[in-house]
């Protein structure tokens, strides 16, 4: 039998804000779909990431279309807006984050081979639904993770990619996988 909402033992927004976070910031580089933005908020809440940075044309809360998929996660997850992704990366690098793009690129590391360190903080860059992470951003990253794929399509939806990568980091850093 499915658990009822009150049986899920979820923390309140105030408790969430105080709890230990996964040492990860999610950076959205010109993500155009407001539904994808909302889903990223919800997924980021689910894995208790530090915060989300919205860059360029990426839509910002409050917005009805973001809330459709965020289901309130825009209130639990802290977020910032930067007009330029490269400047957001410079700020994060200055705060000690390792900058990792999630992209299909030369010299990318397969996600299954990526070994995050508990001593580091990570900024994960997810790109535009059509063009991916911009070339300008790719020129300033510290590394690149690629999700292995075995079908006929060339990529996953950004939200699926975020879910896969965040689960992988959560499992490796918090669960010892």
Cis peptide before 76 (omega within 30 of 0): no
Residue 154 has a CB neighbour count (10 Å cut-off) of 7
Low-confidence residues of the chain: pLDDT under 50:
none
- Structural domains in the chain plus CATH codes: 19-174 (3.40.1280.10)
pTM to 2 decimal places = 0.97
| Per-residue model confidence (pLDDT) at position 58 | 98
How far is CA 9 from each of CA 4, 26, 129, rounded to the nearest angstrom?
A: 10, 25, 34
Which among 109, 113, 116 has a CA at the least distance from the CA of 175? Answer: 116
8 Å CB contact between 162 and 64? no
> d(Cα 175, Cα 101) in Å, to the nearest integer?
23
- Residue listed under structure tokens 């209130």: 75
Residue 3 has a CB neighbour count (10 Å cut-off) of 8
| Per-residue model confidence (pLDDT) at position 5 | 87
Write down the mean pLDDT value for the chain.
Answer: 97
Given the DSSP bridges, would you call strands 121-127 and 97-102 parallel, antiparallel or unpaired? parallel
The two tokens of residue 168 are: 């992988």
> d(Cα 68, Cα 33) in Å, to the nearest integer?
12
Positive or negative: CA dihedral 99, 102, 103, 107: positive
């Amino acid at each position: 039998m499915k658990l009822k909402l009150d049986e899920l033992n979820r923390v309140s927004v105030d408790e969430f804000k105080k709890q230990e976070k996964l040492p990860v910031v999610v950076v959205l580089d010109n993500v155009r779909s407001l539904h994808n933005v909302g889903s990223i908020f919800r997924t980021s809440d689910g894995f208790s990431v530090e915060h989300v940075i919205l860059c360029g044309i990426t839509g910002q809360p409050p917005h009805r279309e973001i809330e459709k998929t965020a289901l309130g996660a825009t209130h639990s997850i802290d977020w910032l807006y930067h007009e330029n992704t490269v400047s957001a990366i410079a700020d994060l690098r200055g705060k000690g984050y390792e900058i990792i793009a999630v992209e299909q690129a030369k010299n990318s590391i397969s996600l299954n081979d990526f070994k995050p360190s508990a001593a580091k903080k990570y900024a994960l860059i997810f790109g535009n639904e059509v063009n991916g992470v911009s070339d300008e951003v790719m020129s300033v990253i510290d590394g690149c993770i690629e999700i292995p794929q075995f079908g006929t399509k060339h990529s996953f939806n950004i939200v699926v990619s975020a879910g896969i990568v965040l689960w992988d980091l959560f499992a490796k850093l918090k669960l010892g996988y």
